């Protein structure tokens, strides 16, 4: 069983039912919908297709709605894509025009106030570099130092400029409501700058009586500096290295990535490592050796999940990209420092829940347990056990479909639906039966069981038992 989870972005290259089925078969655990592109109807149809494909394949797949957040973006471009040649002049304008050669709209009226002659602007995740030559109230005139292709709604980066963009816009809140209506399983918020940025989203979700997990995307220098507080406030983080590598000196990105993964691990907060992990597979059927090493190193650093973006959204080989990601993870996991992680990774055992999770993972190595089974109402116990990185699989027994799907993001956790037992002995037998049915144990094996007594309460894990499969 592969422990590292795979998040794959769904787009024009991967939204057909047959392709979705093959991606799920190859190991996609979480399907990402990028709300910066497409519309509500398109995303709703894609959601239906993902659910149907997962049902046909017989695997649990979660859906992640990615909210654009406060980012400067290019407006609509004629035909969807235009070329920006090196050495040409390009005007960025706040006028309501359709983009094309020589002129691109930007949906931010204050753009010309943010830049001055000599400043650098990046487009297309840093692939295109512009140098500002002149400004007017509505236009920013630039020289194209490095050209390339620009698509509608792609991002625009102003390194070292702190913009006054709102934390969360009315459009973002509308997209969140759309995601809730579609039934997405988790939400990611882009361009978080501080823990306070999550508060209006939490309040909005509370007003909708939703407890959906919120993933904070770390892609601004301010977020990297405030990482500890953001991790405390979020349900998970995503290390989005594309914009991070433009806003920060690029040589610092690997160090920031490692630090964020350590901080997230110590707080049992799941982490996704994202952007350009297998970028060459947008066009090539095989990744570069450096990309393979990048994925493996993220797993060695303790990431819960690795993410594919353009590789599966618009690339020529979406199925092969998922397959390759899975193969890299499986090979890497054979050599992970599990024993060291048990003592160094995960939260300090400051309460009974942490202590039980720590002890359960320790028993895997001391007693040769084949699996740890966690009946859970909220997914918390499974998340804590996962944070200590057991070498044996973790089976989360859920009574709620939403919780089951959320567990698909947790490293090493397999989730399934089971009826809640009302008696302690029934609970133990139910756990043993589930481990056998899921193929994690056979007669004569030992498994670990965590539980809350008496059964039926949320957040009350107070038992760990070594159980012999009979």
Kindly report the CATH number that applies to the domain delimited by 5-69+167-334: 3.20.20.60
Average pLDDT along the chain: 93
Lowest mean pLDDT: which of 29-38, 225-234, 278-287, 414-423? Answer: 414-423
pLDDT of residue 63: 98
Confidence of residue 415 (pLDDT cuts 50, 70, 90): very high
Using alpha carbons, select from 426, 346, 359, 355 the residue that is nearest to residue 386: 346
Whether the pLDDT of residue 452 is over 90: the answer is no
Cβ atoms of 465 and 449 closer than 8 Å: yes
415-430 average pLDDT score: 89
Active site residue 275: yes
Confidence of residue 168 (pLDDT cuts 50, 70, 90): confident
pLDDT of residue 346: 86
Active site residue 259: no
Out of 2, 49, 60, 217, pick the active-site residue. Answer: 217
User: Scanning the structure block, which residue is given the tokens 């998922």?
Assistant: 322
pLDDT of residue 455: 65
User: Scanning the structure block, which residue is given the tokens 């290259």?
Assistant: 13
Question: Can you tell me the distance from the alpha carbon of 468 to that of 435, in angstroms, rounded to the nearest whole number?
Answer: 11
Give percent above pLDDT 70 in the chain. Answer: 97
- Between 204 and 160, residue with greater pLDDT: 204
Question: Can you tell me the distance from the alpha carbon of 32 to that of 7, in angstroms, rounded to the nearest whole number?
Answer: 7
Lowest mean pLDDT: which of 75-79, 123-127, 324-328, 442-446? Answer: 123-127
pLDDT of residue 197: 92
432-442 average pLDDT score: 96
Out of 46, 275, 312, 408, pick the active-site residue. Answer: 275
pLDDT of residue 456: 61
Active site residue 32: yes
pLDDT of residue 164: 58
Enumerate the domain spans of the chain.
Answer: 5-69+167-334, 81-157, 339-468
Active site residue 129: no
Which tens digit of pLDDT belongs to each residue from 176-211? 999 999 999 999 999 898 999 999 999 999 999 999
Which tens digit of pLDDT belongs to each residue from 98-145? 998 899 999 777 888 888 899 999 998 788 999 999 999 999 999 999
Q: Which of 122-126, 158-162, 224-228, 459-463 ranks highest by mean pLDDT?
A: 224-228
CATH architecture of the domain formed by 81-157: Beta Barrel (2.40)
Cβ atoms of 208 and 196 closer than 8 Å: no
271-288 average pLDDT score: 97
Cβ atoms of 241 and 271 closer than 8 Å: no
Is the Cα torsion angle 437, 440, 442, 445 positive or negative in sign? negative
Whether the pLDDT of residue 163 is over 60: the answer is no
Q: What are 71's two structure tokens?
A: 């980012």
336-341 average pLDDT score: 92
Distances (CA, A) of 266 to 220, 232, 271, 341: 22, 11, 11, 11
Question: Can you tell me the distance from the alpha carbon of 389 to that of 385, in angstroms, rounded to the nearest whole number?
Answer: 7
The CATH superfamily holding the domain 339-468 is Pyruvate kinase, C-terminal domain (3.40.1380.20)
- Between 166 and 231, residue with greater pLDDT: 231
Whether the pLDDT of residue 366 is over 80: the answer is yes
pLDDT of residue 443: 95
Out of 2, 32, 71, 405, pick the active-site residue. Answer: 32
Out of 51, 73, 258, 446, pick the active-site residue. Answer: 73
89-99 average pLDDT score: 93
Over its C-alpha atoms, the chain yields an Rg (Å, rounded) of 23
Whether the pLDDT of residue 345 is over 80: the answer is yes
Whether the pLDDT of residue 305 is over 70: the answer is yes
Confidence of residue 246 (pLDDT cuts 50, 70, 90): confident
351-374 average pLDDT score: 93
Lowest mean pLDDT: which of 67-81, 127-141, 356-370? Answer: 67-81
Question: Can you tell me the distance from the alpha carbon of 256 to that of 251, in angstroms, rounded to the nearest whole number?
Answer: 10
């Amino acid at each position: 069983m592969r422990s590292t989870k795979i998040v794959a972005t769904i787009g024009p290259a991967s939204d057909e039912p047959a392709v979705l089925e093959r991606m799920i078969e190859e190991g996609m655990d979480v399907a990402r919908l990028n709300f910066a592109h497409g519309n509500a109807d398109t995303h709703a149809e894609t959601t239906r297709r993902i659910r149907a494909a997962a049902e046909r394949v017989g695997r649990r797949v979660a859906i992640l709605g990615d909210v654009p957040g406060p980012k400067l973006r290019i407006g609509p471009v004629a035909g969807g894509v235009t070329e920006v040649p090196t050495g040409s002049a390009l005007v960025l304008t706040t006028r309501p025009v359709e983009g094309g050669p020589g002129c691109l709209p930007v949906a931010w009226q204050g753009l010309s106030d943010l830049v001055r002659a000599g400043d650098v602007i990046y487009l297309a995740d840093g692939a295109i570099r512009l140098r500002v030559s002149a400004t007017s109230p509505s236009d920013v005139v630039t020289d194209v130092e490095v050209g390339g292709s620009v698509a509608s709604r792609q991002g625009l980066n102003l390194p070292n400029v702190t913009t006054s963009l709102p934390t969360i816009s009315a459009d973002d809140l509308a997209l969140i409501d759309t995601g809730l209506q579609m039934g997405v399983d988790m939400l990611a918020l882009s361009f978080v700058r501080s823990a306070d940025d999550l508060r209006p989203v939490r309040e909005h979700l509370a007003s909708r009586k939703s407890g959906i997990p919120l993933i904070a995307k770390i892609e601004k220098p301010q977020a990297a500096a405030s990482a500890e507080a953001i991790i405390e406030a979020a349900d998970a983080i995503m290390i989005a290295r594309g914009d991070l590598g433009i806003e920060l000196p690029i040589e610092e990105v690997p160090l920031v990535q490692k630090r964020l993964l350590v901080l997230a691990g110590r707080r049992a907060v799941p982490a996704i490592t994202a952007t350009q992990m297998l970028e060459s597979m947008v066009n090539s059927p095989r990744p570069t050796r450096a990309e393979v090493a990048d994925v493996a190193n993220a797993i060695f650093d303790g990431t819960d999940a690795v993410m594919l973006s353009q590789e599966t959204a618009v690339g020529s080989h979406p199925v092969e990209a998922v397959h390759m990601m899975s193969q890299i993870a499986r090979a890497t996991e054979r050599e992970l420092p599990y024993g060291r992680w048990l003592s160094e990774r995960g939260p300090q055992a400051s309460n009974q829940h942490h202590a039980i999770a720590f002890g359960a993972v320790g028993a895997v190595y001391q007693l040769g347990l084949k699996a740890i089974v966690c009946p859970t109402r909220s997914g918390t116990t499974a998340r804590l056990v996962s944070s200590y990185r057991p070498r044996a699989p973790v089976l989360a027994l859920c009574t709620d479909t939403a919780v089951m799907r959320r567990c698909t993001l947790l490293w090493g956790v397999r989730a399934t639906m089971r009826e809640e037992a009302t008696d302690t002995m029934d609970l133990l037998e139910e756990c043993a039966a589930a481990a056998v049915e899921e193929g994690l144990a056979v007669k004569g094996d030992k498994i670990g069981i965590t539980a809350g007594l008496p059964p039926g309460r949320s957040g009350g894990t107070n038992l760990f038992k070594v159980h012999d499969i009979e």
